[in-house]
Amino acid sequence: MSINTVEKIDDNVKIKNLLVSVSDKKGLDKFIPELFNINPDIKIFSTGGTYAKIKEILSSAAKSCLIKVSDYTGQPETQGGLVKTLDFKIYLGLLTEKYNSCHMEDLKRTGAFPIDMVVVNLYPFEQTVKRAGVTPEEARGNIDIGGPCMIRAAAKNFLRVASVVDPLDYEKITDAMKADNGRISLKLRFALAQKAFEHTAGYDRNIADYLRSRSFTDIGSCYKEIKND
């Protein structure tokens, strides 16, 4: 396998395209309008309930910046939101490098946008399993798949992408962007990546600990019927 070697990057990256998909919507009512005020040409890609929330928050003049991920990818969300963001165009937009001509050709070929920031927090697995009487099926349903994938892709490519997992960081991010014409520094992107990987590591640890604490009998008894071929 050949390894891609990066020789040139930008210290400061202007946030033009961002993807927002959050379980905890706290702080969006201030964060999203701030981003639009900093860069009125920004494009915001979003999914499901997050899309609906952002649509409520934005003024009528700003709504044209909001794009459903399903409209962008051409793939409708599956029943119950099972698959929303696991799409080639999303990950191409997250992992491409600006000064790699092959990557730029791939973007052009597919009509994909380079995504500069991901704002994602995950299904509340830890809070769910702490509830009295929670079933294994309720726990399983709160294992996030697309969210950790996006966080990890964005954090891996901190050379170009900001990975935002904590609403408490929203103000820090908008302050940095206001101070530098809508741009985010490599130093801040790196710090956000460190936090992002800590976040997904803790999330996976909680899932592993929960599954280890359950017996096979507990899991099997949750379902009315288990078929054997």
- If one compares 228 and 116, the residue with the highest pLDDT of the two is 116
Instruction: State residue 139's pLDDT score.
Output: 86
Instruction: State residue 135's pLDDT score.
Output: 86
Give the integer Cα–Cα distance in Å for 211 and 200: 17
Confidence of residue 126 (pLDDT cuts 50, 70, 90): confident
Instruction: State residue 33's pLDDT score.
Output: 95
Instruction: Note the pLDDT tens digit of each residue in 38-86.
Output: 999 999 999 888 999 999 999 887 888 999 998 998 876 666 666 666 7
Q: Would the pLDDT of 11 be above 80?
A: yes
Q: Fill in the amino acid letter for 105.
A: E
3-state secondary structure of 73: helix
Give the integer Cα–Cα distance in Å for 56 and 36: 14
Give 3-state DSSP helix, strand, coil % of the chain, rounded to 5: 50, 10, 35
- Of 2-11, 113-122, 194-203, the one with minimum mean pLDDT is 2-11
Instruction: State residue 127's pLDDT score.
Output: 81
Confidence of residue 225 (pLDDT cuts 50, 70, 90): low
Q: Would the pLDDT of 138 be above 70?
A: yes
Long-range contacts (CB closer than 8 Å, 24 or more residues apart) made by 171-178: 173/31, 174/31, 174/34, 174/35, 174/38, 177/15, 177/35, 177/38, 177/39, 178/38
Instruction: State residue 2's pLDDT score.
Output: 60
Instruction: State residue 146's pLDDT score.
Output: 87
Tokens of 217: 């009998």
Confidence of residue 131 (pLDDT cuts 50, 70, 90): confident
Give the integer Cα–Cα distance in Å for 105 and 100: 9
Most confident of 20-24, 56-60, 194-198: 194-198
User: 0.85 cut: is pTM over it?
Assistant: yes
Identify the bridge partners of residue 19 per DSSP, sorted by sequence position.
Answer: 45, 118
Handedness of CA 144, 198, 39, 14 (dihedral sign): negative
Q: Would the pLDDT of 224 be above 70?
A: no
- Which DSSP string corresponds to 58-71? S-TTTGGGEEEHHH
